[in-house]
Structure 1
Amino acid sequence: MIETQTLLIIMLMATTTYLTRVLGYLALRQRALSPRMRAVMENVPGCVLISVIAPAFVSGRPANLLALGITLLAASRLPVLPTVMIGIASAGLLRHLLG
């Protein structure tokens, strides 16, 4: 069974993610973005994803390093959503199998 504190943290993270999207849209909806600003806004999700994945480079755990390799391979061939799903699934499975 999932602990109450864990469920609360997940709900707060989901709410924060949703609010940043909505507030960003509301703040920028009346503005015309320059091509440079548009490029920055389009690359933010990738930067956030890299900041989540980057600690696996220095972890030293074989499961994390293998999952990272699988994720990088998937990223070279697939769109973002399937890549994220493959990365999560491979990390979970390899951590279970390799400890």
Structure 2
Amino acid sequence: MTDSLTLAACAAIAVIAYLTRVGGFWLMAWVPLTPRVEGFLNALAGSVLVALVVPGAVRGDTALQAAVVAAVACMALTRRAVPSLLLGIATAAAWRALA
């Protein structure tokens, strides 16, 4: 009973996630791409990332906090997101491996 309920819940979540993504693309087809809208969309990815990372950094363990510090320092120096994310992941992994 539990396995079928879990499978049904996962399937429902997958369908909802797919419909949300498709609905967003469909909705944005009707929105004119003004400079203001483009700026909003460019800032959205960073906002989502911050919303995911900050609660973990505040309540997280030392490895996560060290990873955030390393990623922020790398971002301040390089102004590049991908190397900063990779450094944060590597820092957390190394911290946990050595601790």
Q: TM-score, structure 2 length as denominator?
A: 0.64
Q: 1:21, CA displacement in angstroms? A: 5.2
* Runs of 4+ residues deviating >6 angstroms: none
Q: Distance in 2 between the 1:19 and 1:83 partners?
A: 32
Rounded to whole Å, the distance in 2 between the matches of 1:51 and 1:29 is: 26
Partner in structure 2 of residue 38 of structure 1: 38
Residues 81 and 63 of structure 1, relative CA distance in 2, 3 Å threshold: same
What is the count of residue pairs matched by the alignment?
Answer: 87
Aligned CA-pair RMSD? 2.8
Q: Where does the alignment leave 5 or more consecutive residues of structure 2 unmatched?
A: 1-5
Letter in 1 for 2:90: A
- Partner SS state of residue 54, structure 1: helix
Report the counterpart of residue 51 of structure 1 in structure 2: 51
The structure richer in helix per residue is 2
Contact 1:71/1:86, CA 8 A, preserved across alignment = yes
**Structure 1 residues 21 and 61, CA gap change in structure 2 (3 angstroms):** same
Name the structure 2 match of 1:96.
97
Alignment identity in percent?
A: 28
Give the TM-score taking structure 1 as reference length: 0.64
